[in-house]
Amino acid sequence: MVIPEFLSGGGEMGRRIREYDWAATSLGPVESWPQSLRTCVRIMLDSRQPIWIGWGKDLIKLYNDPYIAIVGGKHPTALGMPASVVWKSIWREIGPMLHTVMEEDTGTYVESQLLIMERNGYPEETYYTFSYTPIPGDNGGSAGMICFNVDDADRILSERQLQTLTRLGKNLTDCLTYTQAAERTMDALSRNGRDFPFALFFWVGGEAGVSGAGDSMEAGGQMVAGEPQGPLAGDDVRLTQCTTLGASATGVPIAFRLTDDSGLAAALRRARDSRAPQIIEGIHELLGAMPQGEWDVAPDKAIALPIFKAGGVVVAGFLVIGLSPYRPVDELYINFCTLIADQLTTSFADIHVLELERARAAALAEIDRAKTLFFSNISHEFRTPLTLLLGPIEDLLNDPASLESNKYRIGVAYRNALRMQKLVNTLLEFSRIEAGRLEGQFRRVDIGALTLGLASTFRSTIEKAGMQLLVHAEPIKGEVYVDTDLWERIILNLVSNAFKYSHDGSISIDVRELGDQVVVSVSDTGVGIAKDQLEKIFDRFHRIENGGGRSLEGTGIGLAMVRELVRLHQGTISVTSRVGEGSIFAVSIPTGSKHLPPDRVSHEPATGRTCWFPM
Ligand code: ADP
């Protein structure tokens, strides 16, 4: 067969057109084709642009190699077929244009036209810029048309992707809470109803980093109602944000557990365990009627993406995004969704850093406040003994009166100098303990005798105030090691507090053995301590305002130091108290010396004790 010149070359489609039995179609054998058709076919086969020609009233289709990608799965059967058969799925859009070309002899042109093409076995979102140009027949009028195409899908999809990611990036800048970040993600996604018909955000567990989930629940367009009260356990999942779901979306669970039997829980579990996105199929069955976004049907697939807490190990929540019914779930689409999840994870990490900074700033402010309070207390404390020192000394200077009265004044000055010295020593000691420079020198003692002896130094003061001092020590079988100086400070602090915060009744000191511990308790029948203060009284500089003591004197450092000193003995201190009834402070330290650093232990029993002046 001689190949007509106009059909030579043209790659695969040139060959297919040559081999095709055109005589069996309305076009008739090639030799009978009118000149205009021949010329257009020649142009089409030579072009690098996707072109098709429709000929005759049925618009029998001819196309070139670059057009093969457009017909997709319909190639090569589309050759020689009526255009209305090949493009049944988009006939609603292109039919009227072709009618204009053929009946009115007028060309048409559209830019970036959305066409949902069913060419690869599924409906697909595509965009084309194309023109239909009439081809005159030998007898005048349109005998066919030629179509030049530009595939815009890649450009449109990537522009849309960029738009969403840019908006999301902007939205997530300066987020202060996790809730805000999730909400703003919903906002960005809700503006791209073609790629994301709907989006849901689920929190998991209730630990740090999820605290924000509880605050305002305004989602990108929708508030989620009925979230459970109180903290969540590790497997608890809660829907906290979503794009607008509409009244018909009644099947989305608000709260469930990751261990549940549902398809959604299973998908989230897979996402958590694999730390990777998971496709969820059968959305209609799982969640009911979901929004359609910008399409005419609702998605039947969604993707579940894990969102991580700072550190990237623990899952903070899941982003569940409805997938377009008109996009293949390919790498491109999944990567797009993953980029969104990554941005949210990054935002969570930023918020975590912000939270740490906020906590650090609050802690610093608290320390600062405590310091200021402490310094104002301490300056009062220094001022009183100083005034009491200066007064008698000035009197002495101005009045060389009788020896007796001078003795009294010197006594006052001396006691106050001692009080001042004790205060300064306590402060210095406390800072040594804090700096870890106080190590203790532990000696074996008769703990009962030592403790009761120390407590008894208060007897006359207590009895003068009309109160009773009750002491009791049972024999201790185990060996007891203490640093006698430090022990003295512990006991005297506790007993002087008991006296300071009791106005009548009694103060009892009790020493007993409990298992491998010696327990020394100091009880009083004083003002007691409110429940919410019990934990705090051991904090540095913490004082209870209007604590009801005998005097307002105090620095709030005593119990903090006692606790440190007890720790140095590897012991513990606890308090039980009832407001208006009294308090019991119990110190327990282990018997024996194994718990103590060997080089700080002396096995010689202690004799005597250093003098200590109570205030
Ligand atoms: P300070 O007595 O110098 O204020 P502390 O550290 O010794 O400091 O005590 C801290 C706070 O604990 C006190 O301000 C007081 O309110 C409370 N407190 C301590 N011991 C007692 C007690 N036995 N009874 C009632 N309150 C007490």
Is the pLDDT confidence value at 609 over 50? no
pLDDT single digits (tens) 142-177: 999 999 999 999 999 999 999 999 999 999 998 999
- Token pair 């009115």 in the structure block, residue: 104
Q: 290 with 245: CB under 8 angstroms?
A: yes
Q: How confident is the model at residue 606 (pLDDT cuts 50, 70, 90)?
A: low
Is the pLDDT confidence value at 116 over 70? yes
CA angle 244, 249, 251 (to 5 degrees): 135
CA dihedral over 475, 476, 479, 482, signed as positive or negative: negative
H runs (alpha helix) in 234-330: 263-274, 283-287
What pLDDT score was predicted for residue 219? 36
Per-residue pLDDT, averaged over 420-430, amounts to 78
User: How would you class 43 by CB atoms within 10 Å of its CB: exposed for 0-12, middle for 13-18, buried for 19 or more?
Assistant: middle
Is the pLDDT confidence value at 379 over 80? no
Q: What are phi and psi of 526, to 5 degrees?
A: -95, -150
Q: What Å distances lie between residue 483 and 245, 289, 410, CA to CA?
A: 70, 75, 33
pLDDT single digits (tens) 30-88: 999 999 999 999 999 999 999 999 999 999 999 999 999 999 999 999 999 999 999 99
Lowest mean pLDDT across 178-192, 233-247, 315-329, 445-459: 233-247
Task: Name the residue of 378, 382, 501 whose CB sits within 8 Å of the most ligand 1 atoms, as the mutation to test its pocket.
Answer: 501
Q: 310 with 353: CB under 8 angstroms?
A: yes
Cis peptide before 82 (omega within 30 of 0): no
SS3 category, 585: strand
| Whole-angstrom distance, CA of residue 221 vs CA of residue 434 | 53
Is the pLDDT confidence value at 130 over 80? yes
Lowest mean pLDDT across 215-224, 487-496, 596-605: 215-224
Per-residue pLDDT, averaged over 333-348, amounts to 96
pLDDT single digits (tens) 520-569: 999 999 999 999 999 899 987 788 877 777 776 677 888 988 999 999 99
CA of 480 to the centre of ligand 1 (A): 28
Q: Which residue has the higher pLDDT, 256 or 397?
A: 256
CA of 497 to the centre of ligand 1 (A): 6
CA of 542 to the centre of ligand 1 (A): 9
Is the pLDDT confidence value at 214 over 50? no
Is the pLDDT confidence value at 364 over 80? yes
Average pLDDT taken over every residue of the chain: 88
What pLDDT score was predicted for residue 527? 94
What pLDDT score was predicted for residue 615? 30
Long-range contact set of residues 395-401: C-beta below 8 Å, sequence gap at least 24 = none
Is the pLDDT confidence value at 227 over 80? no
CA within 13 Å, CB half, 486: 24
pLDDT single digits (tens) 288-324: 899 999 999 999 999 999 999 877 778 899 999 999 9
Q: Which residue's CA lies nearest to atom 20 of ligand 1? A: 497
Using the atom order of ligand 1, give the atom closest to the CA of residue 524.
23
Q: How confident is the model at residue 390 (pLDDT cuts 50, 70, 90)?
A: confident
pLDDT single digits (tens) 567-579: 999 999 999 999 9
Using the atom order of ligand 1, give the atom closest to the CA of residue 542.
10
CA within 13 Å, CB half, 314: 16
Two tokens at 414?
A: 């001396």
CA of 590 to the centre of ligand 1 (A): 25
CA of 418 to the centre of ligand 1 (A): 22
What pLDDT score was predicted for residue 206? 59
Q: Which residue's CA lies nearest to atom 19 of ligand 1? A: 497
- Token pair 């991580």 in the structure block, residue: 308
Strands (E), 22-178: 51-55, 60-63, 108-118, 123-136, 142-151
What pLDDT score was predicted for residue 613? 28
Residues in contact with ligand 1 by the CB-under-6-Å rule are 497-498, 501, 524, 526-529, 537, 543-544, 547, 554-560, 583
Two tokens at 137?
A: 């027949």
CA of 559 to the centre of ligand 1 (A): 7
Is the pLDDT confidence value at 432 over 70? yes
What pLDDT score was predicted for residue 233? 59
What pLDDT score was predicted for residue 607? 57
